[in-house]
Structure 1
Amino acid sequence: MTKQYIIKDLQPGEFSHHTTLNDIFDDLVQDYLSNDWTDEEAEESETKFKQCTKDEKIDFVQDEYEYKLIAYPTPQQIAEWEEFTGRKWEEAKELNKVFVVQTLHTRNKGEGHTWGIKGVFYDRIKANEKAQETRDEHIKKWYTSKNVDTYEIYEFETYLYTGSIAGENSSFDISVTEEHCE
C-alpha cells in the first residue's frame, strides 16, 4: 500500500486534497511544466521528472513548492485536515507493520512490577485508542475506585500514544510502538 501523508501548503497554510507523494508530485509537475518553456526545455524537464527518485520528489514538493509532507500526523493535525477537507482520514495499512500496546506497572516504590501487552493492531489509530482505554481502566482500578486522587497523568501527543500515570507508590507507563515483522 502507498504511504499516505497529510500535505500542507505552507504559504497559505491550507491542506492539500492529495494524500500520497506521487499524486501531489504529478500535480505540481503539471503546474511547473505549464510555465512559459520552449518545447525543448519542457521535454527535457518532463524526462527529468520521470526519472526522479522518492527523495528527489520529496525535495521538489517541499523545496520548490513549499509544501510540508506530514508522514506521521498527530491527532490534532488529523482533526485539522478533516475539518479543512471535509473528509475522514483513513490511514493505509502497510504490509508487515503492526502497532503494539505495551504497559509497565511498577508498584510499592519499585519493589514489584508487571509488564504486559494489551493488544496488537494493524491500525495505528485503533492502537492509540486502546492505549487510552487501558490508561482509563488503570486510573479507575487503582485510583478512582479507591478514592485516591494523588496521581498525575503525563501524555504526549505524537504519532504513537505515550503516557504515564504517577502516584505516591506506583507508576504506570503505556506506549504504542510500531513493529515491522516478516
Structure 2
Amino acid sequence: MTKQYIIKDLQTGDFSHYTELDDIFEDLTRDYLSNNWTEEEAERLKKEFKEYTEAEKIDFVQDEYDYKLIEFPTPQQVREWESFKRRVWVENKEPDRVFIVQALHVRDRGRGHTWGIKGVFYDRKKANDEAIKVRDEYIKEWYISKNKDSYEIYEHETGLYTGSVEGEDSSFSISVTAEYCK
C-alpha cells in the first residue's frame, strides 16, 4: 500500500478525488507541461519531474498548485471529506509504518522524570485511543487518587494524538508518532 492523504484544494476549498501523492503529482505535472514551453524546456522538465523525491513532489503539489496534503487527518477533516465525497474514508495500512505511543512524566517540580514507550501499533486510531487511555491512567494515578484536582489537560488537534496534563508539581506529555521501518 502507498501513503494516503486527504488532499484539499486551498483555492476552492474542495477536496481532490485523488488520495495518493503519485496520482495527483502525475496529473499536475501533465497540466504544468501543457503550458507554453519550448520542446527543449518541456523535455528538461519531464526529466526533472521523474527524479523528484517524495518531499519535492509534495512541495510541487502544495506550492505550485495550492493543495494541502493531509497525511494524518483529524476526525473532523475525515468527516468533512466523507461529507463532500459521499464516501467512507478508509485509511491504508502500510506494512512498514508503525505508530508509537510515548509518554514523558516530569515530577517533583522537575527533579525527576520518566520516559517510556507505551505501545506500538499498526493502526493510527488504536494508537490514538491508547494514548488517551494512558493519559487517563496518569490522571487517575497522580491526581484523582491523591485528591488533587488542580490539573489541566492540553490537547492539540492533529491526526496523531498529542496532549499534556499539567499540575502543581508534575506534568505528563503523551504523544503518538509515526515511524517507518524496514
Tell me the TM-score normalized by structure 2: 0.73
What is the number of equivalent residue pairs in this alignment? 176
State the SS of the aligned residue for 1:95: coil
8 Å CA contact 1:101, 1:174 repeated in 2 = yes
RMSD of aligned alpha carbons: 3.3
Per the alignment, residue 125 of structure 2 pairs with: 125
8 Å CA contact 1:150, 1:167 repeated in 2 = yes
Per the alignment, residue 82 of structure 2 pairs with: 82
8 Å CA contact 1:131, 1:175 repeated in 2 = yes
8 Å CA contact 1:75, 1:157 repeated in 2 = no
Task: Report how far residue 106 of structure 1 moved.
Answer: 2.7
1:78-111 Cα deviation digits (max 9, x unpaired):
3322332233333323333221111122333334
Task: Report how far residue 65 of structure 1 moved.
Answer: 4.3
Structure 2: 5+ residue stretches without partners: none
State the SS of the aligned residue for 1:125: helix
* Identity fraction in percent: 66
Task: Report how far residue 53 of structure 1 moved.
Answer: 3.8
Tell me the TM-score normalized by structure 1: 0.73
State the SS of the aligned residue for 2:98: strand
Matching of residues 23-62 of structure 1 within 5 Å: 23-27=23-27, 48=46, 51=50, 53=52, 58=58, 61-62=61-62
Instruction: Give the counterpart letter for 2:95 in structure 1.
Output: L
Q: Distance in 2 between matches of 1:28 and 1:116?
A: 43
Task: Report how far residue 153 of structure 1 moved.
Answer: 1.3
8 Å CA contact 1:106, 1:171 repeated in 2 = yes
> Are positions 1:110 and 2:110 aligned together?
yes
Q: Distance in 2 between matches of 1:57 and 1:110?
A: 43
Q: Distance in 1 between matches of 2:159 and 2:168?
A: 30
The structure with more radius of gyration:
1
Seen in structure 2, the aligned counterparts of structure 1 residues 138 and 53 have a Cα distance that, compared at 3 Å, is same
Per the alignment, residue 179 of structure 1 pairs with: 179
